[in-house]
A and B are shown apart, each in its own frame.
Chain A
Amino acid sequence: MTNQLAMSTAPHSRRLPNLKVLAESALLIVLIYAVMAVVYVSVQPSALSPYAIEALLNNSLPLMLAAAGATFVILQGGFDLSVAGIISLVNVVIAVMPVDGPLGALANLGVALSIGIAVGAVNGFLVAGLRIQAIAATLATMIVCQGAALLILGAPGGYVPDFMVYDLTGSVFGVPVALVIILAVIALWSLYRRTDAGRNLLAVGQDRKAAGLSGINVERTEFFSFVWAGAFYALAAYMLAAQTSTGSPSAGEPFLLLSFAAVALGGTAFGGGRGGVTASLFGAATLTLMQKVLFALGVSSFYTGVIQGLIMILAVLFAAAVRYAVRSRRVA
C-alpha cells in the first residue's frame, strides 16, 4: 500500500514540466513568425535581399524594444501605459539636442536612457511606494510626458545626427545593427531571468503574497520592473528617431496599444508570472511582419487593422490550445 500511495502522489519529475516550459517559452511565437516569414517571401521574393531584411528589422525594432519593456512590468502582474509618453518625450528630446557625430549619438543615448529610467522610477515610486493603482499612475505619467513633449517640440521636425540615421540603421560587417541589438536584448534577458532579480520578477507575478512571505522584496521588484521598462521605452524612442530621422511629439501614440498586442501575441500572461521578453520581441516582430505581408498581398490598408486583430486572436487561441494540450497530457 505504501507503494501505491507513493505512486499516486509522486510529483512529476523534470520531464513533463520541461514540455510545459517549452509550451510557455518563446518557441510558439517563433514558429508563428517563421510561418509568416515564409508567406512573406513567397508573395514577395525580393524580401530576401540584404537591403529588404535590413529594412524589415529596422522597421520592427522600435516596437520590439517597447514590447520588451512592457514585458518587465506585465510579468510582475502590473500595467504600464507610460510607454506612449516616454517614447514621444525621448523622441523630441533627441530631435532638439544640438549634437552630431558618433559622440553626439552617444550623448543622445545617454540622455534618452536617463529620461526613460527617471520616468520609470517615478512610475515605480507611485505604484510600489505610494500604492497608487498602476493604470492610474502610469496614465498620469503618460499624459505628463506627452505634454512635456509638446512643450519641447510643438510640431514634427528637429534634427537627428546622421550617425544615428545612417550607421545605426545600417550594417556592420554585413550584419544589420538592428539584429545585433535584438540579439543583445535576447542575451540580456536570458541572463537576467536566471538572476535573483529575474526570478523574483516572475515569482511576484505568479503569487505576490507567497513571494512576499518567501522573503522577496515585492515593492523593490515592482519598482525595478518599471525602471527596466522605462529604459527599454527610451531605447525604442532612440531607434525610432534613427529610423525616421526626425522628432515628433506624437511619435509614441501608436506604441501604446501595439506594444500590449505584441506582448499578448508573445504569450505573456497579463496576470503576470508567465512569459518572457524574447517572446514579446517576436510578438512585436510578427505584428510588423504581418503588416508587410498584408501590404504585399495588396490588402487595402483599411483592412489591415481588422485582419491584424483577427490573426492576433487566432495566434493567442492557438497558443492557449497548445498549452491546454500539454496540460491534459500531464494530467493523463
Chain B
Amino acid sequence: MADVLSVQALSKQYGATIALRGVDLGIRRGEVHAILGENGAGKSTLVKLLSGVVEPDGGSLSLDGAPYRPASIRDARRMGVSTAFQELSLVPDLTVAENMLLPKVSTGRFWPESLASIIRRGRDLLERFDVHDIPADAVVSDLSLAQRQRIEITRALSHARRLLVLDEPTAALPDTGWLFSQIRRATGDGVGVLYISHRLSEVREICGRATVLRNGSSIGTVALEGVDDAGIFSMMVGHRPEAEKRTALRPNKGAEVLLETRNLRGGLLKGVDLSLHAGEIVGVAGLEGQGQQALLRLVGGAMRPGGGEIIVGGAKAMLTSPQKAQRTPPGIVFVPEERKTEGIFDTLTAAANIALAEFATGGRERLVNGRAERLLARQSAERVSLSPRYLDFEVGNLSGGNQQKVLLARALMTGARILVLFDPARGVDVGTKQSIYQMMRHFAELGGAILFYSSELPELVQLSSRCLVLYDGRLAAEVPQEALSEARLLAAAHGHGERPTNDLRMAV
C-alpha cells in the first residue's frame, strides 16, 4: 500500500546541538506506526517537524507523494496533519469547545458567533469522538489532567485527514479503551497514525510496525510481531538492559522512624496513618484520584492539611511550605508531578537549577559563585548519573529525562533525609529510569527514606520495600515486599470485592 507519509534523511540542528541526523521512515495509509527511542533520541524534534512547529534543515518529507514542508501548525492542519502534543496545548481559561475549535472559533462572517453556538458545535465534535463525560462548556483549567489529554487528542483527531501524530497520548489516561477505539476508527478511514509511547505493551497492542530512533538517527523499522521486548530495547539503547532486579532493601522495623502521619486528611485524602523508617522505600499505589496526590503534597509541605498530624523526626511539625518541610529536621524534599510548572527554571542552566537548593538553604547573604555552583552541582549530578556536559545547558533545552535528573539532583543537594517523589520516572526512557531507580536505592541505603507514588505497577513492585495502596482517600492495603506483585496491587487498588481487569492500568 502507498505511504501516506514518507520521510527521507531528515535532519535538524539547534545551534551546535544536532537533534536529528538522518531519519528515514514511511507510514502507510491506515497504519499505526510506533516511534521508539530513549529520551533525547529525537522523537520530540520529529514531532515538531511533522506538525510545522519548526522547519527541517535537510532531508525531505512527502505526504501522499507530494512534497510536504509545513511552515506552521495551521499549514500542517490544512494538509491534513495534526498532532496531540505531549505537553498539552490547551488554553487554560477558555472552554473546552473554544479550545477544540481554535484558532478559528467563530464562524460568523460579520458578527461573532455566540458562545452558546460555539459550545453546541464543540459538543457535536466531542460526541463525534465519543467523549461523553466532559461538558463542552467546562473551562479547561477545571479539568483533570486525564480529561485535558482527551480533549487534546480529540482536537487532533478532528483535524487529522491524512496523518495523526500522537506524542505520549496515554501519559495521563487511565485506560486505553477510548483512545484505541478512536485510533482504529481513524485508521479505518485511511489516516496514518504516528504513535509515540514509552509503554511497550500498549505499543504492541495498537501498532503494527515501529521505527526505532537512537541519537537522532533511525536505526530501523521492524514489524512488532517479529521482535521481543529485549530486542527492541537493544535497538533503542544499543545494548541489552540488565535483567530487572528488585530492591534488596529489607524493611527494618527497628530502624529510626523519620516521619509519621496520624489520621492525615486534606483534599481527597480522608485519613491516613503511615510511618516512614530510615532506609526504606515506601511505594504508594492507587487509581486516579484516590488521594495520592494530596498525601504526597501534604507530606512534602506543598498543601495544608485539613486535619490530622504529621510527625517529623519525633516532633509534631507544621509543614506550611516546601521550604519549611525542607528545614524541618531531618529534612523533607518534595519533587512534584508537573516538573514544567512546579519546579524547574527553564532559562537557568542545569548547574544553576541544581545548586539553587544549596544557595536557597545555605544562607541569604551569600553571593552565587559560578565555579562553586558548578562544583556543587557536579557532585549531585553524579549521583543521578546526569552527564556533566549537560550542566551548562539551559534546562529548557534538555530532554524530559534529563530535566527530571536535574530536579532529583537538586533534591539530593538539599541534604534532606526524606524524599517525597511523585511519579519520578513518568515519561522518561528506560535508561533514565534505571539511573533514577539506582539513585533511589542508594539514597535509602545511606539511611534516607523515600515515599514515592508511581503510575506504573512494575516500578512499584521493583522498587518498594513495602507498598501502600490508597483507595477512596484511605489506606486499602499495605503490601510487604515478599507479597508484592502487580496483581496484588491492582486488586487492592480496586478496593473490596472487585477483581482487577487486565487492561486497566494505574494512572496519574
B104–A196 CB distance below 8 A:
yes
- Those of A159-175 within 8 Å (CB) of chain B: none
- Those of B137-188 within 8 Å (CB) of chain A: 137-139, 142-144, 146-147, 155
Chain A positions within 8 Å of B102 at CB level:
199-200, 203, 211, 214-216
The minimal Cβ–Cβ distance linking B303 to chain A, given in whole angstroms, is: 11
A195–B88 CB distance below 8 A:
no
| Interface check B313, CB cutoff 8 A | no
Interface size on B, residues (CB 8 A): 45
- Those of B239-292 within 8 Å (CB) of chain A: 268, 287-289
A273–B133 CB distance below 8 A:
no
Q: Given that A12-B139, A203-B102 are contacting pairs, would A214 and B289 also be in contact in the complex, using a CB cutoff of 8 Å?
A: no
B147–A9 CB distance below 8 A:
yes
| Interface check B77, CB cutoff 8 A | yes
Q: Hey, what's the 0/1 contact readout for B41-63 against A, CB within 8 Å counting as 1?
A: 00000000000010000000000
| Interface check B30, CB cutoff 8 A | no
The minimal Cβ–Cβ distance linking A44 to chain B, given in whole angstroms, is: 41
A12–B142 CB distance below 8 A:
yes
Taking residues whose C-beta sits less than 8 angstroms from the other chain, chain A's interface range is: 35 or more
Q: Given that A191-B112, A215-B73 are contacting pairs, would A11 and B147 also be in contact in the complex, using a CB cutoff of 8 Å?
A: yes
| Interface check A310, CB cutoff 8 A | no
Chain A positions within 8 Å of B138 at CB level:
11-14, 17
Chain B positions within 8 Å of A217 at CB level:
72, 74, 103
Interface contacts (Cβ under 8 Å), in number, total 108
Chain B positions within 8 Å of A5 at CB level:
287-289
| Interface check A114, CB cutoff 8 A | no
Chain B positions within 8 Å of A273 at CB level:
93
| Interface check B416, CB cutoff 8 A | no
Chain A positions within 8 Å of B334 at CB level:
none
Q: Given that A194-B106, A199-B98 are contacting pairs, would A9 and B289 also be in contact in the complex, using a CB cutoff of 8 Å?
A: yes
Q: How far is the CA of A195 from the CA of B85 in the complex (A)?
A: 26
Chain B positions within 8 Å of A191 at CB level:
112
The one of B88, B98, B137, B288 that contacts A13, using a Cβ cutoff of 8 Å? B137
| Interface check B472, CB cutoff 8 A | yes
Find the A residue at minimum CB distance from B134. A11
Q: How far is the CA of A1 from the CA of B504 in the complex (A)?
A: 14
Find the B residue at minimum CB distance from A214. B102
Find the B residue at minimum CB distance from A191. B112
- Those of B118-141 within 8 Å (CB) of chain A: 133-135, 137-139
Chain A positions within 8 Å of B360 at CB level:
none
| Interface check A6, CB cutoff 8 A | yes
| Interface check A130, CB cutoff 8 A | no
Q: How far is the CA of A20 from the CA of B104 in the complex (A)?
A: 25
| Interface check B79, CB cutoff 8 A | no
A216–B494 CB distance below 8 A:
no
Chain B positions within 8 Å of A207 at CB level:
91-92
Chain A positions within 8 Å of B146 at CB level:
9
Chain A positions within 8 Å of B147 at CB level:
9, 11
Chain A positions within 8 Å of B115 at CB level:
194
B91–A211 CB distance below 8 A:
yes
A215–B289 CB distance below 8 A:
no
| Interface check B318, CB cutoff 8 A | no
Q: Hey, what's the 0/1 contact readout for A213-225 against B, CB within 8 Å counting as 1?
A: 1111100000000
Q: Given that A9-B146, A194-B115 are contacting pairs, would A212 and B73 also be in contact in the complex, using a CB cutoff of 8 Å?
A: yes
| Interface check B495, CB cutoff 8 A | yes
| Interface check A329, CB cutoff 8 A | no
Chain A positions within 8 Å of B143 at CB level:
11
| Interface check B105, CB cutoff 8 A | yes
A196–B103 CB distance below 8 A:
yes
- The 3 A-B pairs at the shortest CB distance, nearest first, are namely A213-B89, A194-B112, A11-B138
14 contacts between A and B (CB under 8 A): A9-B144, A11-B139, A13-B137, A194-B114, A196-B105, A199-B106, A203-B94, A206-B93, A206-B94, A210-B91, A213-B53, A214-B103, A215-B77, A217-B103
Question: 4 new A-B pairs (CB below 8 Å) besides A8-B268, A10-B133, A209-B89?
Answer: A5-B289, A12-B139, A213-B85, A213-B89
